[in-house]
Amino acid sequence: MKKKKLVLLPKKKTALLSVYYKDGIVEFARALIALGWQILSSGGTAKALQAAGVPVIDIEVIVGPPMFEGRVKTLSRELHAGMLARKLEEDLKELERLGLPRIGIVCVDFYDMKAEIARPGSTRESVIELTDVGGPTMLHSGAKGERIVVCDLQDRARVIEWLKAGCPDEQNFIDQLCAKADAIVADYCLAASRYRSGGKFDGVVGQLVQTCKYGENPSMTPAGSYKDIGNNDPLALHNFKVIDGADPSYINWTDVDRMLQTMTHLAAAFDVNKKFVPRLESPKLASGVKHGNTCGGAAGNNAIDVINRMLSGDLRAIFGGWISTNFRIGVLEAEALLRLHLPPESKADAKRLLDGVVAPSFAPEVIRLFERKEGKCRLVVNPALEKLDASSLDTSPRRRQVRGGYLLQPNYTYIIDFNDPRIKRFGPRPTAEQFRDLIIGWAVGSTSNSNTITTVIDGKVVGNGCGGQDRVGVGDLSVKKANDARHYLPGASSYSDSFFPFPDGPEVLAKAGIKAILTSSGSINDELTIEVCERYGISLIMVPDKVGRGFFGH
């Protein structure tokens, strides 16, 4: 018995389905058919629908057979006429004369060119072969023609529900779908241009995920948080969900981003240096940030102890700050965050003023404990924080806007590795506790505004001297912050984000009782730094400046 051949009905509602990823396309097609649409499809998509028993009309009835072994399938004026024809009487009559349908839905995605670019062993030829032309062209035509354009898997169910509801707020709904399609086409074309030009051309396409009340200052409006539509990082900021409190502000998001840099570097360094800190293989981590720089940080095996030490680093600065952990916040952790180290004269119901807490999860019963008026304490969740390791660093390029354009550089992805043969040691071998403290100091100092010297003792940051113009000044600041907070410094460890140009820098730390220093080499006066450390019995570790300098946030 011959299979019944489907006939194109030019006046029937027509949906064009042509996708590289076939997941869910059968269900989407069936839902459309149930709503009275006929399905027009091409190549692999048509075969997938036919195999599932879904009635489908191959676009060959409009455009003819593919050319050049499938290299050209959908680039046809007849097909694009169906997407670009207006609702004007003359356009509809022209379609009818040509026997062409008016295509009302365009569901398209692309060959995965980006994955091919990133694939080890890919070639110029393989990337060009996986550079889609028909897909972007169909999306662009569908967007210009103001069709129901579906280029995101997540939008399919939303479109079906919208159609069932009678297409409310039609113009706005379609505008948003078309805008997304144009953005995705732009991002795809940018990736192709970036690859073909070797980076001479670049750009980023973002999607607004949250409007902020204003930027850094009340006069700076509008402001918002955007996601890079080409980024699938589970630790990207748009994957952090606010479960309680007001929407974060512009500055709140910059603080979260900086905490994330510090937390991932902490986790990565402990992951790489397990041999040097054997009793701390998968540490609990906590970081406190104020105005973009760490004011408290700690690592250990017990969550309450880590919170205790993180808070005690700089009790003055943590007031109104943000805190991040890589562990769940239960009742005991919440009580510790809110009540440890409060002034003795505090009322019985007093609690610490915090602007936000970021964690993998929160026990439901603790949410009320953090409440502040007008939702000023935000609770933010991302489960990916619980599994931080050496693979968690952000590898996406960093852009910084300058007048008329932007600066572009790779992200800071160096991880201190005490096994690296390029690292030189002088003086006594550091203890396991000192290695731990140097790791914490490195992670905090290399993700704080340069210049920075960070001092750590007993697994906690006690003085983060950052943002200075000279090495002696930030050394003094690091020691002063520790003294102001009444920490006992003899035996502490310090990290300097670049070399000491003169011996007066290490002298400041030595006189304060510092017994281990991690810094870089490269100064003409390195020998003088080594002499100072030997005179005071300091364990000195030096990384070549070109390898491990930790400048950040200029």
552's tokens? 């950040």
What residue ranges define each of the domains in the chain, with the CATH number in brackets?
A: 14-196 (3.40.50.1380), 244-387 (3.40.140.20), 416-548 (3.40.140.20)
- The yes-or-no verdict on residue 177 having pLDDT over 70 is yes
- The yes-or-no verdict on residue 3 having pLDDT over 60 is no
* pLDDT of the residue at 6: 67
Which residues share a beta bridge with 544? 521
* pLDDT of the residue at 349: 86
What's the average model confidence in pLDDT over 429-435?
Answer: 96
- The yes-or-no verdict on residue 33 having pLDDT over 90 is yes
How far does the chain reach from its first CA to its final CA, in angstroms? 75
At position 96, the amino acid (one-letter code) is E
487's tokens? 């920490």
53's tokens? 């028993």
Q: For the chain, give the number of residues.
A: 554
| Residues 28, 107 contacting (CB under 8 angstroms) | yes
Q: Is 218 helix (H, G, I), strand (E, B) or coil?
A: coil
Of 62 and 104, which is predicted with more confidence?
104
Cis peptide before 501 (omega within 30 of 0): no
Residues 75-92 as b or e (16 or more Cβ within 10 Å = b): eeeebbbbbbbeeeeeee
What's the average model confidence in pLDDT over 460-483?
Answer: 96
* pLDDT tens-place string over residues 531-540: 999 999 999 9
Name the percent of the chain lying above pLDDT 90.
87
- The yes-or-no verdict on residue 10 having pLDDT over 80 is no
Cis peptide before 382 (omega within 30 of 0): no
| Residues 263, 446 contacting (CB under 8 angstroms) | no
- Kindly state the helix (H) or strand (E) to which residue 83 belongs, with its residue range: helix 77-84
| Residues 150, 180 contacting (CB under 8 angstroms) | no
Residues 148-179 as b or e (16 or more Cβ within 10 Å = b): bbbbbeebbeebbebbeeeeeeeeeebeebbe
The pLDDT mean for the chain works out to: 94
Q: How far is CA 529 from CA 418, 498, 514, 541, in A?
A: 20, 12, 14, 11
Which of 39-43, 283-287, 428-432 is the least confident region?
39-43
Whole-structure pTM value = 0.91
Q: How far is CA 438 from CA 133, 277, 306, 445, in A?
A: 52, 11, 16, 10
Band the pLDDT of 2: cuts 50, 70, 90. Answer: very low
Q: How far is CA 497 from CA 144, 276, 322, 466, in A?
A: 52, 21, 24, 10
Band the pLDDT of 518: cuts 50, 70, 90. Answer: very high
At position 287, the amino acid (one-letter code) is S
Q: What 3 state SS string does 444-483 have?
A: HHCCCCCCEEEEEECCEEEEEEECCCCHHHHHHHHHHHHH
- The yes-or-no verdict on residue 353 having pLDDT over 70 is yes
Instruction: Work out the angle at residue 81's Cα, subtended by the Cα atoms of residues 77 and 86, and round it to the nearest 5 degrees.
Output: 155
What is the CA 265 to chain-centroid distance, rounded?
14
Which of 3-7, 8-12, 464-468 is the least confident region?
3-7
Of 415 and 375, which is predicted with more confidence?
415
What's the average model confidence in pLDDT over 418-435?
Answer: 97
- The yes-or-no verdict on residue 80 having pLDDT over 70 is yes
